[in-house]
Structure 1
């Protein structure tokens, strides 16, 4: 996941540079920001596919018999 964040940072820098040299209303500037937006969307999709576990969930995975981790059906 950190790889995509590095790519986002690189493309952010690139977009800022392109927009400062080409102008904020140029097609190159718009295209550079589109790349940033696509990478951010991909990072969001990756998080949805692989949500991070909370510390409590990790604890319960390691200690399924702990009182705190018991699940009661209605």
Structure 2
């Protein structure tokens, strides 16, 4: 996750540079900040993504007494 945070910081620096060079109303400035926003959205999405359960795990969660779902300790 720190890799995407580093990318965000790098893109922020590039956006600030583009805005100071080309002006805050320029297309380059807007595009640079769009890139930052997309990376931040991806980072947020990665934090929210939960590992998907398999069909069998979902079945066992809904039917814990099923023979297939029993766990025996040796």
Structure exhibiting the larger radius of gyration computed from Cα positions: 2
In structure 1, what is the equivalent of residue 25 of structure 2? 25
- Kindly tell me the number of residue pairs found equivalent between the two proteins: 51
TM-score, length-scaled by structure 2: 0.66
Instruction: Structure 1: state its 5+ residue gaps.
Output: 51-74
TM-score, length-scaled by structure 1: 0.66
The CA distance in 1 between the partners of 2:22 and 2:29, in whole Å, is 7
Q: After the TM superposition, which segments of 4 or more aligned residues of structure 1 sit over 6 Å from their partners?
A: none
- Over the residues paired in the alignment, what is the CA RMSD in angstroms? 1.4
